[in-house]
Structure 1
Amino acid sequence: MPGTSERMNGVGFLAIVIGSVAVSAAANRRGWPGPLVVVVVASAVSLLPGLPRMELPPELILAFVLPPLLYSAALELSFVSFRRDLLPIAALGVGLVVFSATAVGLVAWWLLPALTVGGAFVLGAVLAPSDAVAAVALGRRLGMPHRVMTILTGESLVNDAVALVAFELAVAAYTGYQPFIDRPVPLALYSVLVGVGVGLITAMVVHQIRPRLHDPALETVFGAVVPFVAYLAASELHASGVLAVVAAGFWIGHHSADAAFATRLQSRQVWHTVDLVLEAFVFAYMGLQVSVILQDATLEGTGPLQLLLGVTVVLLVVLVARPLWIFALLSLNPSRLPRRYGVVLSWAGMRGVVTLAAAAAIPATTISGVPAPDRNMIQAIALSVAVLTILVQGSTLQPLIRFLHISDAADRRRAEADLARALRVARRAAHDYTARATTNGEEAVTMALIEHRIAHVLNASSHAQQPEQHDHELVQAILAHQRRALIRERDAGRLDDEVLRAVLQQLDYEEAAASTDLRTRL
């Protein structure tokens, strides 16, 4: 059994980060699902004799681990796709959270006599939200269809805020502490409206200030503080920090084309690194909670059979509630989504970091000062179910996708068509500019540059050579003209954000190469 309890110090945090990244890298090299391997290894490590119990304060998880993960996902999610699938995202991100919390609370109260009614509904609120980190990490690895990934990511960005409001209300009833607003509907409206408002204001201010710094490194660092500022500012106003982060991410991501090319390139690498490190850490931290589960259950005197019964009952409710809700929606409007996609969505509801943080944030005492009843049992069941959803659902998603013959072939064809359309827009913009701006034989040189870029974007085998001598200012002007044309196409709804970002990335590389070439020759 692990040793005595202690808060995680800097050395422990660093050890988890390094170990989880190393295990994830080793798993990826062998073609294994990295998140699952990290959870399994961390679970085994947590049971080593004499290992200190490592825990992060819940406020640290919510304020410094969750915001960058949500922000990065919102940056990359296409606003066009999100708007197109807003109805299923809202049905899952709002309706399913309420349904899951209610179902878990009622069944736990009915079948687990050790739980009070208040404790049962706190447990339901803790386990209500699915996790963006788990869904996106596993979805990318398994090659889920683009639309399924959009709905899963959108749902996970929305449901955290709804679940935390439900958690606040359930804890108030459980302990007697009063929330900022004691009525659920006004509290939810205030939390949503103020949270989104804070996020948008934060993003707009940063968007206005960043270009005035005239330094890509400073602009990148300034942009990196956005999720933390948005979350903490909204939390100070008792609003949803999660929705503030999501709103800020959507705004910055949608307007990323306005930034300088060097800032875009640096920011993309920074957030890719942050994702890699934090995702590995979150999965390792979840695995390490196995020892926490056993310790807490023992401290409260919960017997192994009682804990096993609680975990089994709640896990079954969590696994069944999601498909019931999704297929009820599909029966009402079967044309919205193929049933095969509904099956995958039903089995992709892993729990994660919000469940961990909420479970740890349950008050230890009631308002009268007495210990909160069943707190350790609630935490043990919640953490157990969270880890098991990662292991059970995560390990069986890939066989399920293969069994249903779901592939992203249609998505690839659509993406290729969208990319081809974007390249036509870029080519036409370059031709239009050169027709107006080039003279004295420069057009041939300029068009050679254009053909080189287009061949590079398409990853086609081409021997088109970039001319050794070219006018750097002319290249910059052509690239700027192409970017404006692509943004207009996106704003008109004819181009997806993700395709726009892919083409802009290639144009950014071309401008970076041209700038490097110019500095070398100077």
Structure 2
Amino acid sequence: MDVMPLLLLVAGSAAIAAVARRTPVPAPLLLVAVGLAVSSVPGVPDYTLDPHVVLPLLLPPLLHTAATDSSYLDLRAQLRPVALLSVGYVLFATFVVGWALYLLVPDLPLTAALVFGAVVAPPDAVAATAVARRVGLPSRITTILQGESLLNDATAITAYRVALAAAVGEGATWAGGIGEFLLAAVGGVVAGLVLMAPIHWLRTHVKEALFQNTLSLLTPFVAYAVAEQVHASGVLAVVVVALYLGHRAWEVDFATRLQEEAVWKMVAFVLESAVFALIGLQLPVVLRGLGEYEGALAAWYAVAVFLVVVAARFVWVYPATFLPRLLSARIREREANPTWRGPFVIAWAGMRGVVSLAIAFSIPLTLHDGEEPFPHRNLILFLTFTTVIGTLVVQGLTLPPLIRLLKFPGRDAQAETLAEANAQAQASRAAERRLDELLTDERNALPAPLADRLRIVLERRRNAVWERLGQANPVTGESVDDTYRRLSREMISAEREVFVKLRDARYIDDEMLRTLLRRLDLEEAAAFRETA
């Protein structure tokens, strides 16, 4: 097995993603663009997107990362719009886009057209939230987009399986399709509910951080595999488990949380970068299989499908936003009246991604009899590719300026800092009371300087947030908080240099140096986190 193409893919995509962070272009778009350009260079190997790799090996960790970073409470508060998008919209888009393609392409069976509709129905889990975080959307819209992207893949994959069974002639019925959908949805949730408590119990009772992080890396794959084994939705199982673990992460020891955060950030960065680069690199594979559909005809189909995909989302989002308010007095009393701007951004943020391509490549070459080819499979692959690229480029590039044009109110940094300071003050008072209780016990006796040091650390933690609300230094422009952090780092850096010189002089060995440096690293991390 030649591993060089894989190494080049990972290294190249990571480098491009790192460069993108220094440019105004979102990383997903730059990765796709570079992938497209590289795919046309002679000698570049083909990177075939294997659905048997993408769905079980790439999708679970990406979903796990997104779900653990999401808020269970916020998602629960936005359950209605999330459900309407992740289930209702995906099914609506499957039928609308499929029917449009059926009318557009001569001799295309409706069942095959519905297969395509299910393929391009789900917006991408990574692209939309990456752009949303970068442009600073209001938290409610970001939560809705995150929730939709976490759950819509399950709906789309199930709809695809039902449509595919009908297309290949396996005798699928509407009743059977609905039953399969319910089995996948309910089974996926149940699988997640069954797995989440034992996994969390292991995380809280096993104290070795390395083992806990190994368990963390295995968790999304185990949840996905267990659910798929019983023909349930692996996507939903992963999301349910990850939401629970993220909600209860405070119960895990600090060493695990520190390692886990670093590990999953690295995993998500590498996978997201490689996934979007793969989208661009698929161009030669797709074009070679296009066959009879070339030139103006293929371009016309691609533009028409893109327009239908974009329009269908607007047709669904606005009624789904305003009709529930018209029909329910309770909703009108409980929720603020939405403007047209929020639904417009949600509708425009429907970018497609790697899941659509992976599903499309899983379409079989032949029908159930094994002899007759799957109708228009190459055209479906081509239109999937152009729809993914079109939504990423057109919507992805225009979404940030659109949000700035619509002038959404930004986050109130002062109010957030004030809430943080009040929360820290309450926690500090509780810690002081606990410290006083402990020091009255003879078993906890400490010399006065050490007891005072505990109180000073607590006071510093409490005051750090309030200082962010204070005035800046008239000379440097820094807040008191920033100055404290900078001076702390300078002191730690001076200590670090001395330790290295002592190691070089053979006064201490490398093992002792690593111990001392780790202690400084933790102090520097603590100083940063107190003010970050």
TM-score range, shorter chain: 0.7 to 0.9
Equivalent positions of 1:280-299 (< 5 A) are 280-297=273-290
Offset, 1:9: 5.3
The answer as to whether partners of 2:17 and 2:273 remain within 8 angstroms in 1 is yes
**Distance (Å, rounded) in 1 between the aligned partners of 2:261 and 2:135:** 22
The answer as to whether partners of 1:100 and 1:128 remain within 8 angstroms in 2 is yes
DSSP 3-state at the match of 2:196: helix
Per-residue deviation, residues 236-294 of structure 1 (Å, max 9, x unmatched):
11110000110110111111111010001110111111111111111101111222221
Gaps of 5+ in 2: 326-335, 469-479, 486-518, 528-532
Per-residue deviation, residues 202-226 of structure 1 (Å, max 9, x unmatched):
2222211233332111111111100
DSSP 3-state at the match of 1:367: coil
Per-residue deviation, residues 158-214 of structure 1 (Å, max 9, x unmatched):
111011110001101111236799712221221112212222322222211233332
Q: Among residues 360, 378, 381, which one is paired with 2:380 in the alignment?
A: 378
Gaps of 5+ in 1: 1-7, 466-508, 518-522
Report what 1:326 is aligned to: 317
Report what 1:434 is aligned to: 435
Report what 1:477 is aligned to: none
Report what 2:393 is aligned to: 391
Letter in 1 for 2:377: R
The answer as to whether partners of 1:202 and 1:226 remain within 8 angstroms in 2 is no
Residues 327 and 180 of structure 1, relative CA distance in 2, 3 Å threshold: closer
Q: Among residues 262, 267, 270, which one is paired with 1:269 in the alignment?
A: 262
Report what 2:48 is aligned to: 55
The answer as to whether partners of 1:262 and 1:512 remain within 8 angstroms in 2 is no
Q: Among residues 271, 290, 294, which one is paired with 1:303 in the alignment?
A: 294
Equivalent positions of 1:115-264 (< 5 A) are 115-177=108-170, 183-264=176-257
DSSP 3-state at the match of 2:47: strand
**Distance (Å, rounded) in 2 between the aligned partners of 1:62 and 1:397:** 28
DSSP 3-state at the match of 2:282: helix
Report what 1:473 is aligned to: none
DSSP 3-state at the match of 1:55: coil
The answer as to whether partners of 1:293 and 1:384 remain within 8 angstroms in 2 is no
The answer as to whether partners of 2:192 and 2:238 remain within 8 angstroms in 1 is yes
Per-residue deviation, residues 380-426 of structure 1 (Å, max 9, x unmatched):
1011101111011000001101110124334x455334423421331
Equivalent positions of 1:399-418 (< 5 A) are 399-410=401-412, 412=413, 415-418=416-419
Residues 48 and 36 of structure 1, relative CA distance in 2, 3 Å threshold: same
The answer as to whether partners of 2:425 and 2:462 remain within 8 angstroms in 1 is no
**Distance (Å, rounded) in 2 between the aligned partners of 1:97 and 1:226:** 27
Per-residue deviation, residues 80-106 of structure 1 (Å, max 9, x unmatched):
100111111001111110111111011
**Distance (Å, rounded) in 2 between the aligned partners of 1:344 and 1:86:** 18
The answer as to whether partners of 1:66 and 1:353 remain within 8 angstroms in 2 is no
The answer as to whether partners of 1:169 and 1:182 remain within 8 angstroms in 2 is no
**Distance (Å, rounded) in 1 between the aligned partners of 2:77 and 2:173:** 34
Offset, 1:332: 1.6
**Distance (Å, rounded) in 1 between the aligned partners of 2:431 and 2:219:** 35
Residues 143 and 515 of structure 1, relative CA distance in 2, 3 Å threshold: closer
Q: Does 1:85 align with 2:83?
A: no
Report what 2:509 is aligned to: none
Report what 1:358 is aligned to: 359
Letter in 2 for 1:405: K
**Distance (Å, rounded) in 2 between the aligned partners of 1:156 and 1:113:** 33
Q: Which has the larger radius of gyration?
A: 2
The answer as to whether partners of 2:213 and 2:260 remain within 8 angstroms in 1 is yes
Q: Among residues 450, 458, 463, which one is paired with 1:450 in the alignment?
A: 458
More deviation, 351-360/428-437: 428-437
The answer as to whether partners of 1:24 and 1:38 remain within 8 angstroms in 2 is yes
Letter in 1 for 2:311: V
TM-score, normalising length: structure 1: 0.83
The answer as to whether partners of 1:92 and 1:155 remain within 8 angstroms in 2 is yes
DSSP 3-state at the match of 2:126: helix
Offset, 1:309: 1.6
Letter in 2 for 1:447: R
Offset, 1:513: 4.1
Letter in 2 for 1:202: L
**Distance (Å, rounded) in 2 between the aligned partners of 1:414 and 1:192:** 40
Aligned length: 464
Residues 138 and 464 of structure 1, relative CA distance in 2, 3 Å threshold: closer
**Distance (Å, rounded) in 2 between the aligned partners of 1:199 and 1:118:** 32
**Distance (Å, rounded) in 2 between the aligned partners of 1:119 and 1:413:** 54
Q: Does 1:24 align with 2:32?
A: no
**Distance (Å, rounded) in 2 between the aligned partners of 1:330 and 1:155:** 14
Report what 1:317 is aligned to: 308
Per-residue deviation, residues 32-82 of structure 1 (Å, max 9, x unmatched):
322211111111111123433211310110001110000001001011100
Residues 221 and 100 of structure 1, relative CA distance in 2, 3 Å threshold: same
Per-residue deviation, residues 99-128 of structure 1 (Å, max 9, x unmatched):
111110111111222522122111100011
**Distance (Å, rounded) in 2 between the aligned partners of 1:348 and 1:10:** 36
**Distance (Å, rounded) in 2 between the aligned partners of 1:167 and 1:182:** 15
**Distance (Å, rounded) in 2 between the aligned partners of 1:446 and 1:337:** 49
Report what 1:346 is aligned to: 347
Offset, 1:427: 1.8
The answer as to whether partners of 2:220 and 2:238 remain within 8 angstroms in 1 is yes
Aligned-pair RMSD on alpha carbons? Answer: 2.6
Report what 1:99 is aligned to: 92
The answer as to whether partners of 1:230 and 1:241 remain within 8 angstroms in 2 is yes
The answer as to whether partners of 2:360 and 2:380 remain within 8 angstroms in 1 is yes
